[in-house]
Amino acid sequence: MLELVVFDVDGLMLDTESVWKEAFDKAGNKYGIPGLGDTLFPSLIGKRLEDEQELLDRLLPGDIQESLLNDWRQMGLSSLEKEVPVKPGLNEILDFLDAHHIKKAVATTTRRELTEERLRKIGVYDRFDYVLCGDEVINRKPDPEIYLSVLKKMHTKAENALVLEDSGVGVEAAYRAGIDCIQVPDIIAPTDVQKKQTIYTAKDLMEARDYIEKNMVQSIG
């Protein structure tokens, strides 16, 4: 029986990926490298730290790499301070889970300060029973640590939980934790491996809600 749904944040609940993509375009244009939002950014999504650096060294000249990345971060953060775009269907799926008395948690690689700030800004932080962030665990996704820690904190068995993820590393982390996962892809289309590691691929959170309603919960009344 479904007792707990665990949400990723960036790219799943919040449309932050599009903000960072646009910031890469702006930063690249400043340094005479157009189109970074379409070339570099998609390649960085979900990469391990060591793989990120290898990719950056290959695609960005060493003499401008640090300053370009600093500008990119500042542009992205500045945009998110003004507005945090919300993915369609977020409030609807939260309402649905509340109606069925299913617990809700967050497991994100983003650090606590930014996660709490953004979720409070869109008015959903207090709707979650537990929030675990990237600076509160040792290992990043795809390591299953963050999901196993959520299960332990929420006193829930893996077979009674569900993960909602957008990225490949998140899907792998849920799979390694032994938790069923619905992938809601953002910028990057799911691979065949990810399709095998999930129980369903939804185009948005509304479709994810519909799948849960049809296949994972008993009707009310």
* Residues catalogued as catalytic: 8
Q: From CA 9, how far away is CA 208, in angstroms rounded?
A: 15
| Token couple for 148 | 């196993």
Q: Which amino acid type is present at position 139? A: N
Measured from the Cβ of residue 117, the count of other Cβ atoms closer than 10 Å reads: 13
Q: Which amino acid type is present at position 132? A: L
Q: Give the three-class secondary structure for 26.
A: helix
DSSP string, 151-189: HHHTT--GGGEEEEE-SHHHHHHHHHTT-EEEE---SSP
Q: From CA 158, how far away is CA 43, in angstroms rounded?
A: 31
